[in-house]
Amino acid sequence: AQRVTQPEKLLSVFKGAPVELKCNYSYSGSPELFWYVQYSRQRLQLLLRHISRESIKGFTADLNKGETSFHLKKPFAQEEDSAMYYCALKTSYDKVIFGPGTSLSVIP
Amino acid sequence: DSGVTQTPKHLITATGQRVTLRCSPRSGDLSVYWYQQSLDQGLQFLIQYYNGEERAKGNILERFSAQQFPDLHSELNLSSLELGDSALYFCASSVGDRTHEQFFGPGTRLTVL
């Protein structure tokens, strides 16, 4: 079955602390993984995608096919990082599957 | 605003009724995606259209249908509404049919009473 799981509904970290948002997927084909973010009162927007291997706003994510994971990491959390984060999987049939989301709260 | 627009913002209706949600993609985008977001189900992909044709299908109920018109705007039709259809319905658009980045609209909040 195709599935994306994000085990933490809520995650609180102190400003300046490292943050890791977990994402695991289940898919037998070749996956394309993404992280989307929704800041308060803003639209859902793409944060990063695994194929571009880029760092956006200090966030990185590495696709680990062995562990079927795509965890999002940032070494030093900032208050403006507080938001809802969604991990998403695009299948080879172009279906898009979103995880349930993790609400990140950065405590000043 | 050249971003994705959705109308109406809010919709309140009764069970058994039928509603139409409208989405206008970003200028130049050919693909439109529809999602349903509810508290218990999270963000669920419903359907994708590319340049007027259905491209991919997700967990869309038979009571729901969508289409994309020649001017590329899209409509999502929800019929025989049930209480459980109450949700936020998002539209997103992208340039191509396999393009990775989707741009989301603000959503339409549907309440079925």
Per-residue pLDDT tens digits for B38-57:
877 788 999 999 999 999 88
Q: Whose CA is closest to B6, among B99, B92, B100? A: B92
Q: What is the mean pLDDT of chain B?
A: 92
The contacts found for B57-64 with CB under 8 angstroms, 24 or more apart, are: B57/A95, B58/A95, B58/A96, B60/B34
Is-contact A68 A25, C-beta < 8 A? Answer: yes
Residue of B nearest to A37 (CA): B104
pLDDT at A51: 76
Q: Which 8-state DSSP code applies to residue A58? A: T
Q: How far is A90 from chain B (nearest CA, A)?
A: 8
Q: DSSP label at B25? A: P
Q: Does B101 touch chain A (CB under 8 A)?
A: yes
**How confident is the model over A49-70, as a mean pLDDT?**
87
Question: Which of B45, B48, B55 to mutate to probe the A interface, most A CBs <10 Å?
Answer: B45
Instruction: Name the percent of chain B lying above pLDDT 90.
Output: 78
Residue contact B100–A96, C-beta within 8 A: no
Measure B14 CA to nearest chain A CA, in Å: 28
